[in-house]
Amino acid sequence: MAHNLRFGAAPLVARWFLTVEFLVAVNGKVFGWSDQAAYMAAHHMTMITPLLAAALVIEAVGSICLISGVLARTAGAVMCVYLGIVSLRLHDFWNQTAGMSSMTAPQFFKNLGMMGGLLMIAVYGPGLWTIDRLWRRTAP
């Protein structure tokens, strides 16, 4: 039991680390909506306002779920798929003349790493330290 408690914090810390980038992205959408919309338009996307709003909701609600551990498996799966779509659509370095030296290549590969962490949460769960586990423990 002591072993589980000692290492139980590691998945919690990992969930926090994964959400940092999403919270930065939420901030960018809230305070830089027009810049985000322009970036999407530059990639020939349509229906920018509803897609940007959906991205904001996925990133914000997903981050809350990951941090708290509530519905973390579902959030991990949804965010993994979402990030895959974003990576293919907006960080397509293979379609740019600069190729691997373009600014989108590091974003694409960073996203792949994040997708790996999200997939781990979706498959293996959020670990021991979650809000819903605390609620179940204190319930009569």
Rounded to whole angstroms, the Cα distance separating 1 from 125 reads: 19
Q: How many CA atoms lie within 13 A of 6 on its CB side?
A: 3
Rounded to whole angstroms, the Cα distance separating 15 from 124 reads: 13
pLDDT tens digits, 70-114: 999 999 999 999 999 999 999 998 888 887 887 888 999 999 999
> CB-based contacts of 56: which residues, under 8 Å, 6+ apart?
26, 29, 30
For the entire predicted model, the pTM comes to 0.89
pLDDT tens digits, 4-53: 555 678 999 999 999 999 999 999 999 999 999 999 999 999 999 999 99
Rounded to whole angstroms, the Cα distance separating 129 from 13 reads: 10
What are the structural domain ranges in the chain? 10-126
For residue 3, pLDDT over 70 is answered with: no
